[in-house]
């Protein structure tokens, strides 16, 4: 009896549960490039190219390991454009009697898949995805009955569970979190590691031609394509990060510099998110680098926290809160996403830099996403769903399970504080402290009012004003609400005037 095993674009792991329980003799692995997935948001061409190239290389890896792989390219004649359409065609081609696959990472695809059995009239087995440290059920159990779901407490559980950076039952160095040491601004005199570039091979070149021809109108450039495509490439990127960047990762995690797109960041999210690197194995390598004295504790702890803490935590939130999570808009923000998010055409240097490098690389680091593009949208009152669709489209590592809680929850406070204890809103002062953007900006970061003042300055207070009553009840925002309340009427009126003028021009 032939069984079809669909392997989706972010399931590029040889030990995938659906593969582990299959017999290669009677299985056909089905991999599909389909328009439905390639266009549910207008993905950055580099993201599509990365997915297709990694998928095609994985098909080679599977065939070399003895599997039969049926690979459908996007331009193949008869490609129906959808997962179910391609599974139906494959059933006919192979006379298959059953389907088995690993659960998809996104709600949208899971819902679709639940209808397959009835629509295809064949048994469909869905295996749980074991590539995470905390399953969705275990997260729900942890969350059950808690008044607050702060990541920090979840993270401590994950440290205990994995034993990472533990000294018996105590945290290494006697503290769980070294974030306070991780806020140094960077300068151009620092040595910046250059991330490894992977020259496109014949497979990737074919993909680049295809994507260039089919997705030329999408935001983003294919030029200077450098992403890896295989497990070996991803391992090399990890080695490089540990060798050259990890030691300073903690110190400069929040820094931003003009022209320096990567600083000491790992650029590993895209490989982990598609299954080319196992998150726990990555963390064990980082811990080993600390244990042998190669990197300091604040770097290793800071990095491991992002993965076994934030990455696992946002996935737990996603599966617990979907499907209505995507519709939440606690701050009633309704402004359309400004057009410059799709062009980079703005005279605010911080946004110009961040959106420009997003267009060029399908990458921006966490603080650029959170405190530049996210912060601006938050204080300008942009509709969180529109912003979510932008983030989902423009980053090579963007999959809804990780992107949505980060955007809607952490960055936009759209869930009303389920994920973040306070909105990540700031005036220009924070950006000025952590970057060198403001020095060359047409706006003056030190100016609070008038046409030349940094827009983040008056938009920040306008944001506080719009939500004064709500923030007065939030222990972490009450001080700002009180400060605003004490402003003289003339100052309040000026903030409103500047914000209205700016926002009117924006729309
Ligand atoms: P590093 O800075 O080197 O961090 C190491 C690793 O930690 C990352 O590779 C990633 O796997 C993990 N990590 C760090 N922060 C987070 C976080 N907040 N949530 C989950 N994992 C984290 N990350 C994605 O993988 N996909 C997304 O679509 C995505 N969208 C985001 C949207 C917004 C608005 C924000 C604020 C953050 C988003 N993040 C997303 C989290 C984070 O910005 C990226 O993981 C990180 O920038 C990826 O670059 P890196 O690999 O160089 O990370
Ligand atoms: C992101 C993406 C894109 C652009 N294209 C495909 C594709 O053509 N085929 C595929 O299997 N996967 C693709 N992906 C990744 C999927 O969107 C991802 O695997 C699912 O969303 C998981 O729920
Ligand atoms: Fe951004 Fe304001 Fe600084 Fe300009 S002055 S770069 S707008 S924070």
113 and 154 in a single domain? The answer is no
171 three-class SS: strand
| Whole-angstrom Cα Rg for the chain | 24
372 and 448 in a single domain? The answer is yes
Decide if 334 is inside a domain. Answer: no
- Please give the tally of structural domains in the chain: 3
CATH number at residue 495: 1.10.579.10
Decide if 329 is inside a domain. Answer: no
CATH number at residue 68: 3.40.50.620
The closest ligand to the CA of 352 turns out to be 3
Identify the helix (H) or strand (E) that includes residue 99.
Answer: strand 98-102
Ligand 1: centre distance to CA 479 (Å): 30
Share of the chain above pLDDT 70, in %: 100
Decide if 80 is inside a domain. Answer: yes
pTM as predicted: 0.97
Please report the DSSP string for 104-159 in residue order: PSSHHHHHHHHTHHHHHTS-EEEEPP--SSS-HHHHHHHHTT-S---HHHHHHHHH
Atom of ligand 2 nearest to the CA of 47: 4
Choose which residue among 4, 7, 10, 275 to substitute to test ligand 2 binding: the one with the highest number of ligand atoms within 8 A of its C-beta: 10
Ligand 1: centre distance to CA 366 (Å): 6
Tell me if 460 CB under 6 Å of ligand 3. no
**Which residue's C-alpha comes closest to atom 29 of ligand 1?**
403
Q: Which of 373, 364, 372, 502 is nearest to 432 (CA)?
A: 372
CATH number at residue 235: 1.25.40.80
Choose which residue among 5, 9, 56 to substitute to test ligand 2 binding: the one with the highest number of ligand atoms within 8 A of its C-beta: 9
**Which residue's C-alpha comes closest to atom 12 of ligand 2?**
9
So what's the pLDDT on residue 2?
95
So what's the pLDDT on residue 358?
98
Pocket of ligand 2 (CB under 6 A): 8-10, 32-34, 37-38, 43, 48, 51, 104-106, 109
Residue 302 predicted with pLDDT over 90: yes
**Which residue's C-alpha comes closest to atom 40 of ligand 1?**
403
Mean pLDDT calculated for residue range 117-137:
96
Which residue range is the domain that position 34 belongs to? 3-127
Mean pLDDT calculated for residue range 495-502:
98
The closest ligand to the CA of 455 turns out to be 3
**In angstroms, rounded to a whole number, what is the distance separating the alpha carbons of residues 14 and 58?**
9
Ligand 2: centre distance to CA 8 (Å): 6
Residue 183 predicted with pLDDT over 90: no
Atom of ligand 3 nearest to the CA of 351: 1
Q: Which of 97, 90, 127, 123 is nearest to 110 (CA)?
A: 127
The closest ligand to the CA of 436 turns out to be 3
So what's the pLDDT on residue 16?
97
372 and 261 in a single domain? The answer is no
Atom of ligand 1 nearest to the CA of 253: 2
**Which residue's C-alpha comes closest to atom 43 of ligand 1?**
366
**Which residue's C-alpha comes closest to atom 15 of ligand 2?**
9
Q: What is the dihedral sign for C-alpha 313, 316, 321, 324?
A: positive
Tell me if 454 CB under 6 Å of ligand 3. yes
348 and 295 in a single domain? The answer is no
Choose which residue among 355, 379, 437 to substitute to test ligand 3 binding: the one with the highest number of ligand atoms within 8 A of its C-beta: 437
**In angstroms, rounded to a whole number, what is the distance separating the alpha carbons of residues 74 and 274?**
19
Q: Which of 506, 411, 503, 407 is nearest to 458 (CA)?
A: 503
Mean pLDDT value across the chain: 96
So what's the pLDDT on residue 181?
76
Choose which residue among 352, 380, 456 to substitute to test ligand 3 binding: the one with the highest number of ligand atoms within 8 A of its C-beta: 456
Instruction: Identify the band that residue 406 occupies on the pLDDT scale cut at 50, 70 and 90.
Output: very high
106 and 47 in a single domain? The answer is yes
Residue 410 predicted with pLDDT over 90: yes
Decide if 205 is inside a domain. Answer: no
45 and 118 in a single domain? The answer is yes
In 281-340 the beta strands, taken as DSSP E runs, fall at none
367 and 408 in a single domain? The answer is yes
Burial 154-168 (b: 16+ CB within 10 A, else e): bbebbbeebebbeee
Residue-wise pLDDT tens digits, 327-368? 999 999 999 999 999 999 999 999 999 999 999 999 999 999
**In angstroms, rounded to a whole number, what is the distance separating the alpha carbons of residues 163 and 452?**
52
Degrees (nearest 5) of the Cα angle 225, 374, 389? Answer: 65
182 and 298 in a single domain? The answer is yes
**Which residue's C-alpha comes closest to atom 8 of ligand 3?**
428
Residue-wise pLDDT tens digits, 235-272? 999 999 999 999 999 889 999 999 899 999 999 999 99
253 and 373 in a single domain? The answer is no
So what's the pLDDT on residue 385?
98
Burial tier of 469 (Cβ tally within 10 Å: 0-12, 13-18, 19+): exposed
Decide if 220 is inside a domain. Answer: no
Compute CA 443 distance to the chain's CA centroid, rounded to the nearest angstrom: 30
- Other residues' Cβ atoms within 10 Å of the Cβ of residue 25: 8
Decide if 223 is inside a domain. Answer: no
Decide if 214 is inside a domain. Answer: no
Ligand 3: centre distance to CA 348 (Å): 6
371 and 275 in a single domain? The answer is no
Mean pLDDT calculated for residue range 400-424:
96
Decide if 206 is inside a domain. Answer: no
**In angstroms, rounded to a whole number, what is the distance separating the alpha carbons of residues 279 and 295?**
19
Ligand 2: centre distance to CA 278 (Å): 19
Atom of ligand 3 nearest to the CA of 428: 8
The closest ligand to the CA of 414 turns out to be 1
**Which residue's C-alpha comes closest to atom 6 of ligand 2?**
37
**In angstroms, rounded to a whole number, what is the distance separating the alpha carbons of residues 88 and 76?**
16
313 and 449 in a single domain? The answer is no
468 and 361 in a single domain? The answer is yes
**In angstroms, rounded to a whole number, what is the distance separating the alpha carbons of residues 225 and 232?**
18
98 three-class SS: strand
Last residue of a domain, one of 127, 161, 182: 127
Residue 397 predicted with pLDDT over 80: yes
Ligand 1: centre distance to CA 66 (Å): 35
Degrees (nearest 5) of the Cα angle 61, 52, 213? Answer: 140
**In angstroms, rounded to a whole number, what is the distance separating the alpha carbons of residues 233 and 54?**
10
Last residue of a domain, one of 127, 149, 184: 127
Identify the helix (H) or strand (E) that includes residue 31.
Answer: strand 27-32
Instruction: Identify the band that residue 1 occupies on the pLDDT scale cut at 50, 70 and 90.
Output: confident
Ligand 3: centre distance to CA 333 (Å): 22
Pocket of ligand 1 (CB under 6 A): 265-269, 272-273, 303, 306-307, 310-311, 314, 365-366, 369-370, 374, 391, 395, 397-398, 402-403, 406-407, 410-411
Last residue of a domain, one of 260, 294, 321: 321
Mean pLDDT calculated for residue range 144-171:
95
Ligand 2: centre distance to CA 49 (Å): 11
Ligand 3: centre distance to CA 372 (Å): 9
């Amino acid at each position: 009896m032939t069984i079809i095993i669909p392997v989706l674009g972010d399931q590029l792991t040889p030990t995938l549960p659906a593969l582990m329980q299959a017999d290669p003799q009677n299985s056909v692995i089905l991999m599909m490039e389909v328009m439905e997935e390639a266009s549910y948001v207008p993905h950055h061409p580099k993201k599509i190219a990365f997915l297709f190239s990694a998928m095609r290389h994985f098909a080679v890896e599977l065939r070399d390991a003895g599997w039969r792989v049926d690979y459908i390219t996007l331009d193949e004649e008869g490609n129906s454009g959808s997962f179910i359409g391609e599974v139906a065609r494959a059933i006919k081609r192979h006379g298959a009697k059953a389907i088995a696959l690993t659960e998809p990472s996104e709600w949208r695809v899971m819902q679709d898949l639940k209808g397959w059995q009835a629509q295809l009239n064949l048994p469909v087995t869905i295996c749980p995805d074991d590539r995470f440290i905390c399953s969705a059920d275990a997260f729900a159990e942890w969350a059950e009955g808690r008044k607050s779901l702060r990541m920090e407490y979840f993270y401590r559980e994950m440290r205990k569970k994995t034993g990472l950076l533990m000294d018996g039952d105590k945290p290494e160095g006697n503290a769980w979190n070294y974030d306070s040491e991780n806020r140094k601004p960077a300068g151009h005199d620092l040595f910046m590691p250059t991330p490894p570039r992977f020259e496109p091979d014949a497979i990737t070149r074919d993909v680049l031609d295809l994507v260039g021809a089919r997705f030329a109108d999408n935001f983003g450039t294919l030029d200077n394509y450098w992403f890896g495509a295989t497990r070996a490439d991803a391992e090399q990127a990890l080695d490089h990060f540990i060798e050259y960047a990890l030691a300073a990762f903690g110190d400069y995690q929040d820094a931003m510099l003009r022209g320096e797109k990567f600083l000491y960041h790992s650029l590993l999210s895209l490989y982990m998110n598609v299954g080319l690197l196992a998150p726990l194995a990555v963390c064990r390598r980082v811990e080993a680098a600390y244990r042998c004295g190669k990197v300091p504790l604040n770097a290793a702890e800071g990095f491991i926290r992002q993965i076994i803490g934030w990455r696992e935590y946002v996935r737990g939130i996603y599966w617990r809160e979907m499907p209505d999570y995507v519709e939440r808009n606690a701050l009633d923000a309704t402004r359309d996403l400004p057009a410059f998010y799709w062009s980079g055409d703005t005279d605010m240097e911080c946004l110009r830099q961040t959106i420009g490098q997003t267009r060029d690389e399908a990458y921006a680091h966490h603080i650029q996403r959170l405190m530049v593009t996210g912060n601006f949208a938050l204080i300008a009152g942009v509709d969180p769903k529109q912003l979510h669709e932008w983030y989902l489209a423009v980053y090579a590592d963007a999959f809804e399970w990780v992107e949505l809680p980060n955007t809607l929850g952490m960055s936009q406070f759209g869930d009303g504080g389920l994920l973040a204890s306070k909105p990540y809103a700031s005036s220009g002062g924070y950006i000025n402290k952590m970057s060198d953007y403001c020095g060359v900006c047409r706006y003056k970061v030190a100016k609070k009012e008038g046409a030349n003042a940094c827009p983040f300055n008056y938009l920040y207070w306008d944001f506080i004003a719009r939500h004064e009553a709500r923030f007065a009840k939030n222990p972490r925002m009450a001080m700002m609400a009180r400060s605003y309340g004490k402003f003289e009427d003339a100052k309040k009126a000026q903030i409103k005037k500047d914000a209205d003028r700016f926002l009117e021009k924006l729309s």
